[in-house]
């Protein structure tokens, strides 16, 4: 039947269904097709609340080696109201799009000559640095030592680590005038192993925690690039913890606690953890993978137990890194979208491959276990997630520009400058707007730029040493004494870990 119609893919499906198994065909008027079912008895059952959304190519059976078919996307709801709600949700996501907000708030831009790379503007870079400073404090407190390793190393180094074999296609390389081939680092781990290897290490040095805000380069497929969320050059809050085998549980739990407390500081409390196990393409013996997977499974069980079941988990077979299995931390944002950020990976392979060892109690050389972990993951991506989560309305401590002092008449300029200096002295990020414009115009402009605090000052305020406070998202105006305002905003702008 399908052969007569020349439908080769259908024939393939029919052939795949074993003898004796039911094969179902549904029909709708003159149209009929193969389907596992069930189908509606009539298209009338869909009702009017449906919408065709888009069409796009999709690989036959999800494999890029196969030909592509055209797929038409449509969606239907029981009522028009539900369809409208769904469409509003899409619209809401579009309004929060970090690419749009990044332009409107003057945070960053992209251009053709550097696909997948970011030009950070002063305000965006301020936000980025705020995140790094916060993370640096957290890591120092947790006993990490920050380092910096080379951005480029010779190709043979990456062959030794196994990266060239597994990901060489996606590495940036360059041939120098002396003919040596160098690769931009796609990961920081091999560099950190070199630092570990420098000088003999004792079991007494473990756990040894090496952290780096390392910028890594990965030649991502052109079609996968997406604003800040998927780029070719990004900064990881990366760390490698060198330990003995019996320290795995304790260290992974410490990482877990730090991870959850950090996410909480950004308002993410709905966390979900996935365990990814050995992939097909991997290095190392199976008995080591058995140990590593068991260790992470134990950690995951303990984490769930401690959270009283609040933390949901899932298993992703075959999704681990080539050197070890991983736990992946997924956060839920303000409009319910999920973002994978942090990762904890247990690795029995890399240290050995790169010749790292420590001296144990019996003076024997032992290969350490490595934990790879990142909490923000990619700083660039995390910045994008924050922009979307807050829709640009950052809490005061994160806002790149926290306060604008806008004058009502030019007579108030000297007082406005005084106000600015008072806020600067308190460590706040503040600018004056003394342009010859109406206050309504200034309020509109700074509101659109999502400045959290607008202080209007006219002669009334100058004489009384007050400011008129207007918060982003509210029409309300509060007249307050300058000194009180500075104190209140200084307190509010304090990062959560310093408060």
Catalytic site positions: 189, 218, 236, 238, 240, 326, 372
Closest CA to 452 of 401, 486, 491, 492: 401
Shortest Cβ 132–RNA spacing (Å): 21
Q: Classify the C-alpha dihedral 390-395-398-399 as positive or negative.
A: positive
Shortest Cβ 254–RNA spacing (Å): 21
Member of 171, 195, 391, 480 binding RNA (CB under 7 A)? 171
**CA dist., res. 101 & res. 92, Å (int):** 13
List of residues 6+ apart from 242 with CB closer than 8 A: 196, 201, 206, 207, 208, 209, 210, 351, 356, 358, 368, 369, 370
Phi-psi region of 233 (alpha: psi -120 to 50; beta: other; left: phi over 0): beta
The 366-405 contact track toward RNA, x by CB under 7 A, reads ----------------------------------------
Member of 80, 410, 481, 488 binding RNA (CB under 7 A)? 410
Member of 36, 71, 141, 294 binding RNA (CB under 7 A)? 71
* Binding segment toward RNA, per CB under 7 A, in 6-14, 26-34, 258-266, 407-415: 407-415
Phi-psi region of 411 (alpha: psi -120 to 50; beta: other; left: phi over 0): alpha
Burial of residue 326 (CB within 10 Å: 0-12, 13-18, 19+) is buried
Member of 10, 197, 226, 254 binding RNA (CB under 7 A)? 226
3-state DSSP call for residue 57? Answer: strand
The 321-360 contact track toward RNA, x by CB under 7 A, reads xxx---------------------x---------------
Where are any strands of DSSP class E within 78-191?
Answer: 108-109, 119-120, 145-146, 152-154, 173-175, 181-184
The 254-293 contact track toward RNA, x by CB under 7 A, reads ----------------------------------------
**CA dist., res. 376 & res. 354, Å (int):** 27
Closer CB to RNA, residue 134 or residue 348? 348
CB-based contact 330:343 (threshold 8 Å): no
* Binding segment toward RNA, per CB under 7 A, in 67-75, 81-89, 396-404, 487-495: 67-75
Member of 155, 230, 274, 282 binding RNA (CB under 7 A)? 230
Closer CB to RNA, residue 63 or residue 286? 63
Closer CB to RNA, residue 174 or residue 410? 410
Closer CB to RNA, residue 324 or residue 368? 324
Shortest Cβ 394–RNA spacing (Å): 15
Member of 102, 124, 186, 384 binding RNA (CB under 7 A)? 186
Interface of this chain with RNA, residues 204 to 223, rule: CB under 7 A:
218-223
**CA dist., res. 228 & res. 99, Å (int):** 8
**CA dist., res. 41 & res. 33, Å (int):** 14
Is 163 among the residues that bind RNA (CB under 7 A)? yes
Q: Classify the C-alpha dihedral 124-126-128-130 as positive or negative.
A: negative
Member of 411, 427, 481, 491 binding RNA (CB under 7 A)? 411
The 428-467 contact track toward RNA, x by CB under 7 A, reads --------xxxxxx-xx--xx-----x-xxxxxx------
The pair of three-digit structure tokens given for residue 443, joined into one six-digit string: 């309020």
**CA dist., res. 168 & res. 237, Å (int):** 23
* Binding segment toward RNA, per CB under 7 A, in 52-60, 132-140, 284-292, 353-361: 52-60
3-state DSSP call for residue 223? Answer: helix
CB-based contact 222:182 (threshold 8 Å): no
Strand partners, 174: 182
Member of 54, 198, 204, 287 binding RNA (CB under 7 A)? 54
**CA dist., res. 4 & res. 94, Å (int):** 46
Q: How many residues bind RNA (CB under 7 A)?
A: 70
Binding site for RNA (CB under 7 A): 54-59, 62-64, 68, 70-71, 73, 99, 103, 110, 112, 115-116, 163, 166-167, 170-171, 186-187, 218-227, 230, 319, 321-323, 345, 408-411, 436-441, 443-444, 447-448, 454, 456-461, 468, 470, 472-473, 475, 477, 479
């Amino acid at each position: 039947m399908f052969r007569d119609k020349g439908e080769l893919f259908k024939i393939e499906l029919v052939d795949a269904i074993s003898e004796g198994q039911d094969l179902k065909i549904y029909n709708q008027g003159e149209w009929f097709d193969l389907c596992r079912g069930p189908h509606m008895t009539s298209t009338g059952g869909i009702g009017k609340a449906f919408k065709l959304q888009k069409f796009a190519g999709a690989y036959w059976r999800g494999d890029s080696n196969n030909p592509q078919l055209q797929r038409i996307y449509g969606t239907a709801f029981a009522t028009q109201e539900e369809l409208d709600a769904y469409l509003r949700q899409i619209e809401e996501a579009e309004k929060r799009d970090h690419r749009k907000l990044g332009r409107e708030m003057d945070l960053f831009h992209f251009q053709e000559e550097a696909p997948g790379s970011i030009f950070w503007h002063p305000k965006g870079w301020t936000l980025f640095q705020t995140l790094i400073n916060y993370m640096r404090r957290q890591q120092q407190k947790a006993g990490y030592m920050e380092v910096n390793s080379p951005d480029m190393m010779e190709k043979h180094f990456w062959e030794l680590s196994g990266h060239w074999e597994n990901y060489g296609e996606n590495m940036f390389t360059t041939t120098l005038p002396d003919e040596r081939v160098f690769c931009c680092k796609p990961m920081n781990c091999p560099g950190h192993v070199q630092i570990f290897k420098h000088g003999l290490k004792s079991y007494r040095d473990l756990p040894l925690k090496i952290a780096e805000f390392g910028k890594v380069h990965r030649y991502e497929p052109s079609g996968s690039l997406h604003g800040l969320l998927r780029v070719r050059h990004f900064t990881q809050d990366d760390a490698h913890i060198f330990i003995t085998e019996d320290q795995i549980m304790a260290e992974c739990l410490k990482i877990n606690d730090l991870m959850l407390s950090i996410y909480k500081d950004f308002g993410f409390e709905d966390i979900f953890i996935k365990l990814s196990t050995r992939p097909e393409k991997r290095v190392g013996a199976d008995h080591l993978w058995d140990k590593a997977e068991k260790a992470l499974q134990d950690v995951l069980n303990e984490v769930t137990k401690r959270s009283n079941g609040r933390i949901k988990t899932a298993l992703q077979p075959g999704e681990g890194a080539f050197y070890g299995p991983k736990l992946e931390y997924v956060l839920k944002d303000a409009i319910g979208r999920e973002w994978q950020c942090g990762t904890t990976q247990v690795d029995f392979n890399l240290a050995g491959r790169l010749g790292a060892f420590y001296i144990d109690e019996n003076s024997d050389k032992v290969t350490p276990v490595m934990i790879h972990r990142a909490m923000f993951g990619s700083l660039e991506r995390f910045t994008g997630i924050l922009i979307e989560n807050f829709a640009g309305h950052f809490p005061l401590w994160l806002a790149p520009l926290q306060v604008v002092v806008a004058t009502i008449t030019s007579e108030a300029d000297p007082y406005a400058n005084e106000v600015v200096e008072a806020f600067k002295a308190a460590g706040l990020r503040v600018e004056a707007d003394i342009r010859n414009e109406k206050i309504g115009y200034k309020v509109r402009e700074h509101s659109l730029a999502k400045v959290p605090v607008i202080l209007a000052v006219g002669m009334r305020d100058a004489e009384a040493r007050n400011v008129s406070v207007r918060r982003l998202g509210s029409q309300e105006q509060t007249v307050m004494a300058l000194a009180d305002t500075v104190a209140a905003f200084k307190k509010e702008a304090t990062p959560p870990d310093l408060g």
